[in-house]
Amino acid sequence: MKTIVTGGAGFIGSHLVDKLLNLKHDVTVLDNFSTGRPDNLSHIKDKIKLINCDISKKDKWISEFEGVDWVFHVAALADIVPSIQNPEGYFNANVLGTLNIAEVCKKNKIKRIIYLASASCYGIPDEYPTTEKAKIKLEYPYALTKLLGEQIMLHWSNVYNLPVTSLRLFNVYGTRSRTSGTYGAVFGVFLAQKLAGTAFTVVGDGNQTRDFTYVSDVIRAIICAAKSNKIGEIYNVGSNESVSVNRIVKLLGAEKIAYIPKRPGEPDKSLAGINKIKKELNWEPKIKIEEGIKELLKNIDYWKNAPVWNPESINKATKDWFKYLSKK
């Protein structure tokens, strides 16, 4: 089976590449390393084909799709503040890049395409658990660009019979997560702070809860979707529980905590409604938060060179967040 993973050097993408190799796929990775890390693939670099390219620009990478069976479109810019500061860059990567992938998949008659969407499209939800039918409430440009990417893929599925399934991911965490970005960021931040012996920076009072989903569960969901015959469908991927940030801090063994101001545009809770994916794809999460955090702590050295955030650097980095998202 010939497979392409866009964004395969990133957090989720590199775990997906590992799984596909275990399934004996012939894997090509497309990545421009804007957020991905070569180190995430160093243990398998001789087993894959790695193309350094920018999918927002039509170039030689297009020829890699000839004869490919499955495509997993994981590549995206995934930070909130940079999307506010540089919406054009986010549109190029997440919208134009997705359009280019859709077009090259159409041209090469790709048999299966999985698009990784974001639960950020739900904004501050009106319902919990939040189902796929929940109202779309976009709070910042990142959320908009990921939704537009999803709409492109599903529209191409509807019009051109592109065999697409979209997965809306909730708060993915695990080894190789970054210290910035939508996925896994809070854990990366805390683990870098733990290694440095500095205070854990907790937003608000820490009572806000999130649907933290371990990356191995997400990878299983992706593979389940790829093997299914469900075309043109959207599925939430979550853990079936919502855990407070204070509980995360306790499980990570924080000795010092610094509370920082609550951010506008962020929900007090996230909880995925996953009945649809359970019923139609026979998938459900397996990793409880305690088990996932044990795995992170076993691999804590991954974050030894990560930036160590403090209240002052976070305040500076999130200045535009408060400037543009605070309700007038």
| Residues forming the active site | 142
Distances, alpha carbon 92 to alpha carbons 103, 148, 164, 198, in Å: 15, 12, 21, 37
Question: What CA–CA distance (Å, rounded) separates 193 from 164?
Answer: 40
Question: What CA–CA distance (Å, rounded) separates 2 from 78?
Answer: 27
SS3 166: strand
Q: Are 196 and 308 in contact (CB under 8 A)?
A: yes
Could you give phi then psi for residue 216, rounded to 5 degrees?
-65, -35
Question: What CA–CA distance (Å, rounded) separates 299 from 188?
Answer: 11
The owner of tokens 């991927």 is 237
Q: 129: cis peptide before it, omega within 30°? A: yes
Three-state helix/strand/coil letters over 79-147: CHHHHHHCHHHHHHHHHHHHHHHHHHHHHCCCCEEEEEEEHHHHCCCCCCCECCCCCCCCCCHHHHHHH
Please give the structure tokens belonging to residue 175. Answer: 């080894």
Question: What CA–CA distance (Å, rounded) separates 248 from 266?
Answer: 18
